Amino acid sequence: MTKDFNYSNLKLGIIGGGQLGKIMAVKAKKMGFHVTILDPTLDCPAAQVSDKQIVGGFFDKDKLEQIVKDSDVTTFELEHVDTSVLKKLYDEDNNIHPSPYLIELIQDKFKQKEFLDKKGIPVPKYKNVQTPADLESFGLPIIQKARKGGYDGKGVALLKDKDDLQNALPGETFIEELVDIKKELAVMVSRNIEGQIACYPVVEMLFDDRVNICDIVIAPAKVDSKIEEAARKMSIDSIEALDGVGIFGVELFLTNNDELLVNEIAPRPHNSGHYTVEACATSQFEQIIRAVTNLPLGSTKLITPAAMVNLLGEEGFTGEPVIEGIHETLEIDGLSFHFYSKKETKPFRKMGHITVLDDTVDGALEKVEKAKEILKIKGSKKV
Amino acid sequence: MTKDFNYSNLKLGIIGGGQLGKIMAVKAKKMGFHVTILDPTLDCPAAQVSDKQIVGGFFDKDKLEQIVKDSDVTTFELEHVDTSVLKKLYDEDNNIHPSPYLIELIQDKFKQKEFLDKKGIPVPKYKNVQTPADLESFGLPIIQKARKGGYDGKGVALLKDKDDLQNALPGETFIEELVDIKKELAVMVSRNIEGQIACYPVVEMLFDDRVNICDIVIAPAKVDSKIEEAARKMSIDSIEALDGVGIFGVELFLTNNDELLVNEIAPRPHNSGHYTVEACATSQFEQIIRAVTNLPLGSTKLITPAAMVNLLGEEGFTGEPVIEGIHETLEIDGLSFHFYSKKETKPFRKMGHITVLDDTVDGALEKVEKAKEILKIKGSKKV
C-alpha cells in the first residue's frame, strides 16, 4: 500500500532529536518538508533546525500518538521507544517507517539475532541467559549483552574468567561467542516503501578501546572486492529478510578467517554512515527521508574516499561545552566540522564529528587522526 | 582586528531569510552556531531552520540594530538593505561582514563598475545617464541598467533603436555597451577576516531568455585552461580590490574575442554557486560562515562535475505551490532536490533547485535538462 503525498507541504515526524535527527531534519527541510521532532529535551539539536518540537519522552504514549497523528509519516532516529501505541497507530494508518513491529524486534538484540539466524544470515554463536549457569555454556571468555537498551558500548560485558562472573550484567541478557575479529565493518542499506533497495559502500569502523565507542570510520573499507561484495550481499539480505523500510546500519565482523558475521542492525541512520553527507551522492540522512516518504532512492555512489572521527566530550569535564583547537583543525584540507549544539558535555558524550575528504582513504585517515589530536571538547566545569 | 569567539555558542545574524539564508543557516547550524534571521516574512525559508527570527524589513533601522546587537557577527544574504545604521554599528564594533560600506558601494551598480574600472579590472564600457541624450552616447543598441535595486533580470533594459527610447528605465540609471557575448561565466571567491582567499572553479551560466534569469549552471565551465586561469585571477583581483570579507559571486562575460569582462559582483552566496553544496569539498554557504566568523577557509576543490537548474514557478500559476513530476525526477541518478518552502508560488519565482552530479559535465547537463522538462512547480490558483 503506497500513499501519495502533497510533497510541497509534507509533514514529517521524527522520534528523537539528537544528532541523527538533526541531520535528518536538515535533509527533510532541504526537500521542503515540514518537520516535527519528539524529544524530551527542549531545544534539542534536531529541534533547532525543525519547524516544531513536541516535548515528550519516548515512552510517553500520548506524545507518541500526537506526533504520528500530526504527521503524514513518522520515522525514528532511535529504537528505544514504546512500540505498543505505535503498533496500534501503524495498523490503522500504515504511516510509520520502519514499522514499529520491526523496531520491537530489533530492540531485543537476542530476538534480532535469532531472527537473522533463522533467515540464514551468519551471526556469532549466541544463547539466551536464563540461569547463571547459562553464562558458561560456551566456556569463558564470553561476551554478555543486555537484550534491550544498550548503545555505544553500554550493555555489553566481557567476562574473561570465573572471577568476572560476579560482574555479569543483571536483567535479561544473552551471551555471544568471543569472535576473533580482524576488522569491524558496516554497511548502510536503504529500502523504500516500494521495496527498492540501495546499498552504500562497505566501511571500516575503528573503536576507542577505553569506552568501546566507534571512534573513526574509513570509507571505503580496506578489504578485497570479494569480501566487499559478500558484506554488501549479506547486508541487503538482512534488510530484505526484515522487510525493512527506511535506512539501516548493518554492523559486521570480519574474522581472522575472512568469515563475515552480522553483529547487529540499527534501524535508523548510523554513526558509520556520517561520511555519506560529504562523500556520497546522497547522504544516509536524505536517503531515509526518501525511503519513508515514498520517493525513489538516491545514488549511493562514493564520490571520494573519506574518513570520519567522532568528537567525544573529554574526560574530566562537564557543563557547557568549550571547543579547543578549532582554528588549527579547520585548516586541514578537505575537512568538514559538525557540532551538535548539545547544551552540556560529558566524558565520552558524542558532541560532534569531523569528516575529511581526500584522494586516498589513507590520506583521509591521517587527516582525521590529526584532527582528533588537535580538537578537544572540554567543558565549563571540571568533574 | 580579529576577534576570538566562543565557537560552542557563537551567535550569527543573517539579514535576509530566503533560499540563500536558508542554506547559510543550515551550514551555520552544522557547525553548532546559534542563528538569528532578519526577514519581513514570518516563517520565511531560513527561519524554518534557524533558532530565532526577528520579523522586520531590510530598511527598518531598529530591527537592523537589534540583529547586530543580538549577534556576535552579522552577515547578509542580500544587498538591498539600509546601510546607514549598519555603517554606524560597524564603526563601533566591526562585527558586520562584508562591511556595510562595501555593501553600499555594490548596491549602486554604476559606482561598483566605476570602482572596478579604476582598479584596473576590465569591465564593459559604461556611462552614467544624467540626461536623456546620454542614453545614445555609445549609439544604439545599448543596455540600460538601474543603478540600484535590480535583480534576476529586473532593472535591465535593452534599447534596440530610437523607438525603444520611450521604454527607457526611469530613475537613476547608467548605460553599458552591448557586449558580444560568447559565454556568461561566474566565479565564487571567498575571503576571510585575516585576508585568506579561496577561489572556486569557473562555471558557466545559461539563461532562461524569457525572463533573463540564470536558469542552468554547469561546473566546470567548458572553457580552455588559459581562460579559466584568467577568470579566476580577475575574480580574485576584484575581491582583493574591494577588501571584501565573506563570499562573492563574480559574474563575467567571455566575449567572442575571448576577452573577459567583469559584469557584476554579488557580495553574498550566489545562484551560480549552488552546485558547491553537492560538488565541492566546502560549499559556498559554509565558506561564508567560516569567512565571517574568523575561521580558516575550506577547500574549494570540485570533487565531481555537476549541473544545477533553478526550479521557477510556472507561468499561469500562483498560490500554494504544487509539485508535479517529483517521483520521475528523483529517479534521475545523482540528483539532489532542493525546495525552499516558500508559501506562495509566482510565475518565474525561484522555488527550488536541482543539482545533478555526473562523471562528465555534459552528462550532468543532460540530466538537469531532463529534470527541468519533468518537474513543474504549479500553484493552487491560476493567474
* Per-residue pLDDT tens digits of chain A, which is 383 residues long: 456 799 999 999 999 999 999 999 999 999 999 999 999 999 999 999 999 999 999 999 999 999 999 999 999 999 999 999 999 999 999 999 999 999 999 999 999 999 999 999 999 999 999 999 999 999 999 999 999 987 777 899 999 999 999 999 999 999 999 999 999 999 999 999 999 999 999 999 998 777 777 799 999 999 999 999 999 999 999 999 999 999 999 999 999 999 999 999 999 999 999 999 999 999 999 999 999 999 999 999 999 999 999 999 999 999 999 999 999 999 999 999 999 999 999 999 999 999 999 999 999 999 999 999 999 999 999 98
Distance CA B147, CA B114 (A): 12
- pLDDT for the residue numbered A1: 42
Nearest CA in chain A to B295: A327
Q: Check if A194 contacts B (Cβ < 8 Å).
A: no
- CB proximity under 8 Å: B 299-318 to A: 299, 301, 303-304
Report phi then psi at A23, rounded to 5: -75, -30
Are A26 and B7 an interchain contact pair (Cβ–Cβ within 8 Å)? no
Are A323 and B8 an interchain contact pair (Cβ–Cβ within 8 Å)? yes
Question: Chain B partners of A22 at a C-beta cutoff of 8 Å?
Answer: 29
Minimal Cα–Cα distance from A331 to chain B, Å? 6
Cβ-based neighbour number of residue A162 at 10 Å? 9
Q: Which residues touch B220 (CB under 8 Å, ≥6 apart)?
A: B201, B202, B203, B228, B302, B305, B361
Can you read off the three cell numbers belonging to residue A101?
A: 513491529
- pLDDT for the residue numbered B1: 42
Residue B316, burial from CB neighbour count under 10 angstroms (0-12, 13-18, 19+): exposed
A121 and A189 Cβ atoms separated by less than 8 Å: no
Minimal Cα–Cα distance from A311 to chain B, Å? 12
Q: Check if B321 contacts A (Cβ < 8 Å).
A: yes
Query: pLDDT (tens digit, 9 = 90+) per residue, B109-122?
Result: 999 999 999 999 99
Distance CA B208, CA B369 (A): 12
- CB proximity under 8 Å: B 3-32 to A: 6-9, 22, 26, 29-32
pTM over 0.90: yes
Q: In whole numbers, what is the pLDDT of chain B averaged over residues?
A: 96
Distance CA B313, CA B317 (A): 7
Q: Which of B233, B256, B245, B261 is nearest to B116 (CA)?
A: B261
Q: Which of B142, B131, B216, B211 is nearest to B175 (CA)?
A: B142
Distance CA B34, CA A303 (A): 31
Minimal Cα–Cα distance from B316 to chain A, Å? 18
B111 assigned to a ligand binding site: no
Are A339 and B303 an interchain contact pair (Cβ–Cβ within 8 Å)? no
Mutation target vs A (from B19, B20, B30, B380; most A CBs, 10 A cutoff): B30
- pLDDT for the residue numbered A3: 62
The CA-atom distances, in angstroms, between A280 and each of A263, A284, B295 are 24, 9, 26
A204 assigned to a ligand binding site: no
B264 assigned to a ligand binding site: yes
- pLDDT for the residue numbered A227: 98
Q: Which residues touch A62 (CB under 8 Å, ≥6 apart)?
A: A56
- pLDDT for the residue numbered A337: 98
Determine the 3-state secondary structure of A300 from DSSP. coil
Whether complex ipTM tops 0.90: yes
Minimal Cα–Cα distance from A183 to chain B, Å? 29
